[in-house]
Amino acid sequence: MTDEIELSIDGQQLQVAPGTTLLEAAEQAGIDVPVICYFGHTTANGLCRMCVVETKGARGLQPACVTAVKQGAEIQTHSPDVVRARRTILEMLAATVDLSEAPEVRRMMDQVEARPERFAGGETRQPPLLDDNPMYIRDYAKCVLCWRCVQVCAEDAQYTYALNFTGRGFHTSIGTFFDKAMPQTTCVFCGQCVGVCPTGALKGKREYLLEQGVAPEAIFQQTRAPRRAGRRGMGDEDVAG
Closest by alpha carbon to 72, among 13, 19, 2? 13
Within 9-68, which residues bind ligand SF4 (CB under 6 A)? none
Contact between 174 and ligand SF4 by CB under 6 A: the answer reads yes
Shortest Cβ 11–ligand SF4 spacing (Å)? 34
Q: Which of 112, 149, 153, 209 binds ligand SF4 (CB under 6 A)?
A: 149
Instruction: Give the Cα separation of 33 and 129 in Å (integer).
Output: 32
Between CA 141 and CA 148, with CA 142 as vertex, the angle to 5 degrees is 120
DSSP string, 3-39: TPEEEEETTEEEEE-TT-BHHHHHHHTT-----SS--
Q: Which of 89, 145, 182, 209 binds ligand SF4 (CB under 6 A)?
A: 145
Q: Which stretch binds ligand SF4 (CB under 6 A): 41-49, 85-93, 139-147, 180-188?
A: 139-147
Contact between 203 and ligand SF4 by CB under 6 A: the answer reads no
Shortest Cβ 163–ligand SF4 spacing (Å)? 7
Q: Does an H or E element contain 174, and which?
A: strand 173-175
Contact between 197 and ligand SF4 by CB under 6 A: the answer reads yes
Q: How far is CA 221 from the centre of its chain?
A: 31
Q: Which stretch binds ligand SF4 (CB under 6 A): 75-83, 103-111, 177-185, 198-206?
A: 198-206
Closest by alpha carbon to 146, among 43, 60, 68? 43
Q: Which of 16, 31, 201, 209 binds ligand SF4 (CB under 6 A)?
A: 201
Contact between 208 and ligand SF4 by CB under 6 A: the answer reads no
Contact between 144 and ligand SF4 by CB under 6 A: the answer reads yes
Instruction: Give the Cα separation of 232 and 222 in Å (integer).
Output: 20
Binding site for ligand SF4 (CB under 6 A): 143-149, 174, 196-199, 201-202
